[in-house]
Amino acid sequence: MTTHTSIVELVIPEAPVPTASNDSSSLFAWRSNTDGLHLGVLDNSKGNADHLLRLLTDGLRAEFPIKSVLSLRKLNPSTGAPAEILNQLAEEADLVVSAMAD
């Protein structure tokens, strides 16, 4: 009888944490907004991306005051988001979350 041993390597990609600045255009400027965060959500339309984004949105709601959520979906996963979607997210959201899943 042959015994096989499997090794599973877990890789967690993380971007470096940006540092806060005194500039009001900083990534962290929204944290001082006591009215709440305007969250943008971009679904790439892959299977289960909507479920993953719902979990992420729920987690953000638990940690931060969320005033509104703008949830938009691409037509298909193989093309980029149209300019209209990107422009709407840029105009209406303080922070945008996007995810892919299968």
The total of structural domains in the chain comes to 1
Note the pTM of the prediction, 2 decimals. 0.66
Q: With 90 as the cut, is the pLDDT of residue 72 above it?
A: yes
pLDDT at 22: 47
Query: Has residue 33 been placed in a domain?
Result: no
The encoded tokens of residue 6 equal 């499997």
User: Whole domain around residue 49: which residue ranges?
Assistant: 43-85
What integer is the mean pLDDT of 39-67? 90
Query: Has residue 55 been placed in a domain?
Result: yes
Query: Has residue 25 been placed in a domain?
Result: no
Query: Has residue 71 been placed in a domain?
Result: yes
Q: With 90 as the cut, is the pLDDT of residue 85 above it?
A: yes
Query: Has residue 51 been placed in a domain?
Result: yes
Q: What pLDDT band is residue 90 in, cutting at 50, 70 and 90?
A: very high
Strands (E), the chain: 37-43, 66-73, 95-99
Spatial separation of the C-alpha atoms in residues 64 and 31, rounded to whole Å: 8
Query: Has residue 70 been placed in a domain?
Result: yes
Query: Has residue 67 been placed in a domain?
Result: yes
pLDDT at 98: 87
Query: Has residue 6 been placed in a domain?
Result: no
pLDDT at 38: 93
Which DSSP helix (H) or strand (E) runs through 91? helix 83-92
